Amino acid sequence: MTTSNSRLYGVYAQKQEGFFMQRVRVPGGRIGASHLRALAQIAMRFTPDTGLHLTTRQDIELHDVREADILAVQTQLHKAGLSFIGAGGDSLRNITVCGQCEKCGGEDVYSIAVKVEETLSKLAFIRELPRKFKISFSGCLRACARPFINDLGFVARGDGSFDVIGAGSLGARPSAGIKLFSALPAGHIEALCTAAVEMFAEMGDRTNRRAARLRHVRQRIGDEQFAAELRSRFESVLKRQVWPEIGRACGAGKNRRVGVLNLPSGNIPCQDAIALADAAEFAGATIYIHLDHGFELYGERAVELGYLSKYSSMPRIVACPGSASCPNAITDSTGMGDLLRSELHGVNTGNKTMRISGCPNDCAQCAASGIGLIGLVRTIDGVRTQCYRVMTGGEEGTTSQMAKEGVILPAGQVGQFVKEHSFGPGE
């Protein structure tokens, strides 16, 4: 299997020779108790010392998979009804959905996201794009699914229509998206997504991967021409066929948020994942993977979490795997996450999310964060030293406001600095 093909199946090499990461798609972040249990049992068999890792696109990963076990793991995933096709590579990535719509009284856009994925997955070229393509759906104008850092972001207005943000992305040179449509009818969403993906397939740069996202097309031709080109293609696609009614998003009825678990760097031991599946199933609750390395539970009655309640009081710290396993990482972002959890023990973080990336690729989305740390290396007194650039002031992709670059600190000074400067008295 070639590298490009393996990535399409969610397989990425780790820095440890002979070991790989296997990503599993979880559409919209909603995972049934039986699927979570099955995934944990697969991990117990093949990666017993590692557990499960949740991602910022609501997927789940198995790390430390031996090369000889990849096919067996994928076979077991398929038997369990879990998908890994298109979990990586130059393809449509998992469509993310905010889990907060039930909490805030917004609309449940999950069914729309699933329908869009089904439609786009039928396109012959969807696994052969210039680069990855990311879509998100937010259930209300709070835009919790971060439309400004996606290739397309749909924000429900509450009347059956959507505002559409597009051509944003992060990475080493981040850029927020722009508003493309106001009050787009829900019935036009599939046609717009089709037009955008077709435009990307034709106009995306296939020679320079560092300039191959949809936002690079926008930057190359300019915002006005980009928006006009997309609108023209959308109108053409809309006339191509009779698009079925996608259905108006609706509220969640009696469901409410009944539990939150913030996982250390997105990691949960297999036994804890099984315990969570059992507790949610017993209470009839729905399990969502939220966008910040954790779970949210929705239902009509409380879920008895027992010892799992320890995760509910943890600060929300998002950290990429870092140098522990990623070949591209410069710093130990997971270790920094552990340090910050210790430093912030007993501190009222005010539900703020901290983000830590182990290199400028910024998989933890620091460039859009309220508080973020991006790993780099500096020579201090003649010694190559792990450091972090502090990022502050971003609005998490809910608006176009990105974070501003701040000081660069050696890793050993970060914990106290963050504690003193980010969480003052009363916060």
Q: Are residues 218 and 261 in the same domain?
A: no
Structural domain boundaries enclosing 347: 316-422
Give the whole-angstrom CA distance, residue 25 versus residue 222: 34
- Report yes or no on 69 lying in a domain: yes
Q: Are residues 236 and 300 in the same domain?
A: no
For residue 427, what pLDDT is reported? Answer: 40
Q: Are residues 418 and 325 in the same domain?
A: yes
pLDDT, mean of residues 91-116? 83
Helix H or strand E segment including 412: helix 411-422
Check if the beta carbon of residue 409 is closer than 8 Å to that of residue 390.
yes
| pLDDT at residue 355 tops 90 | yes
| pLDDT at residue 105 tops 70 | no
- Report yes or no on 354 lying in a domain: yes
Q: Are residues 233 and 349 in the same domain?
A: no
- Report yes or no on 101 lying in a domain: no
Q: Are residues 145 and 220 in the same domain?
A: yes
Check if the beta carbon of residue 400 is closer than 8 Å to that of residue 383.
no
Put simply, whether the predicted model's pTM sits higher than 0.75 gets the answer yes
Identify the CATH number of the domain in which residue 368 sits: 3.30.413.10
Q: Are residues 395 and 291 in the same domain?
A: no
Which one of 190, 208, 240 terminates a domain? 240
- Report yes or no on 246 lying in a domain: no
- For the ranges 76-85, 91-100, 238-247, 267-276, the lowest mean pLDDT is seen at 238-247
| pLDDT at residue 218 tops 90 | yes
For residue 425, what pLDDT is reported? Answer: 44
Q: Are residues 385 and 407 in the same domain?
A: yes
For residue 245, what pLDDT is reported? Answer: 82
DSSP 297-340: EEESS----GGGGGGGGS-EEEE--GGGT-TT--S-HHHHHHHH
pLDDT, mean of residues 50-63? 97
Identify the CATH number of the domain in which residue 288 sits: 3.90.480.20
pLDDT, mean of residues 331-356? 87
Torsions phi, psi of 422, nearest 5? -110, -25
Which one of 240, 263, 291 terminates a domain? 240
- Report yes or no on 304 lying in a domain: yes
Q: Are residues 151 and 230 in the same domain?
A: yes
DSSP 273-298: HHHHHHHHHHHTPEEEEETTTEEEEE
| pLDDT at residue 315 tops 50 | yes
| pLDDT at residue 368 tops 60 | yes
Exposed, middle or buried: residue 420 (CB in 10 Å: 0-12, 13-18, 19+)?
Answer: exposed
Q: Are residues 143 and 200 in the same domain?
A: yes
* Percent of the chain scoring above 90 in pLDDT: 84
Residue 421's pLDDT band (cuts 50, 70, 90): confident
* CA atoms within a 13 Å half-sphere pointing along the CA-CB vector of 335: 15
- Report yes or no on 247 lying in a domain: no
For residue 276, what pLDDT is reported? Answer: 98
**Count of domains for the chain:** 3
For residue 303, what pLDDT is reported? Answer: 94
Q: Are residues 234 and 114 in the same domain?
A: yes
pLDDT, mean of residues 194-203? 98
- Report yes or no on 18 lying in a domain: yes
For residue 5, what pLDDT is reported? Answer: 79
Residue 104's pLDDT band (cuts 50, 70, 90): low
Check if the beta carbon of residue 277 is closer than 8 Å to that of residue 40.
yes
- Report yes or no on 245 lying in a domain: no
Residue 100's pLDDT band (cuts 50, 70, 90): low
Arithmetic mean of pLDDT over the chain: 93
Q: Are residues 149 and 203 in the same domain?
A: yes
Beta bridge partners of 259: 297
Q: Are residues 110 and 235 in the same domain?
A: yes
| pLDDT at residue 426 tops 50 | no
* SS3 assignment, position 178: strand
Residue 149's pLDDT band (cuts 50, 70, 90): very high
